[in-house]
Amino acid sequence: MKITVASGKGGTGKTTIAVNLALSVKNSMLIDCDVEGPNSHLFFREPMVKIKDVSIPAPKFDLDTCTLCGKCAEFCQYNAISIIGEKLLFFEELCHGCGGCKIICPVDAITEVDHNVGLIEKGGTEDLPVYHGLLNISEPFGVPIINELKQFADASKITIFDSPPGTACPAVETMRDVDFCILVTEPTPFGLHDLTLTVDVIRQIGTPFGVVVNRDGIGDDRVDQYCEKEGIPLLAKIPNDMEVAKLYSRGVPMVTGLPKYRKLFEEMFQKIREMV
């Protein structure tokens, strides 16, 4: 089973939920897809070791063969190619590496070269492997690394994906092709606002989902009201507990430092299992 932990707002506790859920269910693995700032590994003692480089195909133009017909520029959905004033301009930072220009070129003037965008590291234990990706500094698109990361999901295990925040491409990529999505929010106006954005997106994707309220007690009950009105299952509420925060600051997951919380995550998983 594949479960993604996502949220619209950053800092609501995606990693907290992902790490503690992975530790509370048997036969699990954790894949941190926040390739711009992965931090799930901080809760595990084992070092992360590089296992793979990630590249995207970047076009290389043979300007002697190119007829400046403009078909590649017209095709490119990301406007990475311009034919202008008898010149071909390629804006590498706009290229998503889809390879379409090479296919569309009628005179075979385009070849592809590997453009390294980041890497994948593995850590954790035999029982609970942890993977994450690292996007190179200055690279704008994390999705190719997330795609590669998703390939490491072991079908015989419960795979927990820790999603990047927001509702843009990297988050969408992490929320699709999974069995269930946990949306983590906090009971504040910001939390609720960004939750509603994420709900709009996930309904489009079609992944079944439920909500976890983290730091319950700091705000009001508008998230509860919203979930009830929208018919969204509330999976769990995690109290705003100073002891949890103290453990967190030392890199100790709450279910390890305060075993009473294990039950909460076991019940959360039971609810998910009943829904998929």
**Least separation in angstroms between CB 138 and another protein:** 12
Q: Give residue 231's identity as a one-letter amino acid code.
A: G
From CA 62, how far away is CA 109, in angstroms rounded?
A: 5
Contact pick of 1, 69, 94, 98 for another protein (by CB under 8 A): 94
**Closest alpha carbon to 152 in 36, 272, 20, 52:** 52
From CA 119, how far away is CA 127, in angstroms rounded?
A: 23
Answer positive or negative: Cα dihedral of 158, 162, 167, 169. negative
Tell me if 84 contacts another protein by CB under 8 A: yes
Q: Which residues of 41-66 are buried (b: 16+ CB within 10 A; e: fewer)?
A: bebbeeebeeebebebbbbebeeeeb
Tell me if 73 contacts another protein by CB under 8 A: yes
Contact pick of 51, 68, 89, 218 for another protein (by CB under 8 A): 89
Tell me if 197 contacts another protein by CB under 8 A: no
Tell me if 85 contacts another protein by CB under 8 A: yes
- Which of the ranges 2-10, 36-44, 53-61, 77-85 carries the binding residues for another protein, by CB under 8 A? 77-85
Q: Considering beta carbons, is residue 70 or 189 the nearer one to another protein?
A: 70
Contact pick of 3, 31, 58, 80 for another protein (by CB under 8 A): 80
From CA 53, how far away is CA 47, in angstroms rounded?
A: 18
Tell me if 82 contacts another protein by CB under 8 A: yes
Where do contacts with another protein occur on this chain (CB under 8 A)? 73, 78-80, 82-85, 87, 89, 91, 94
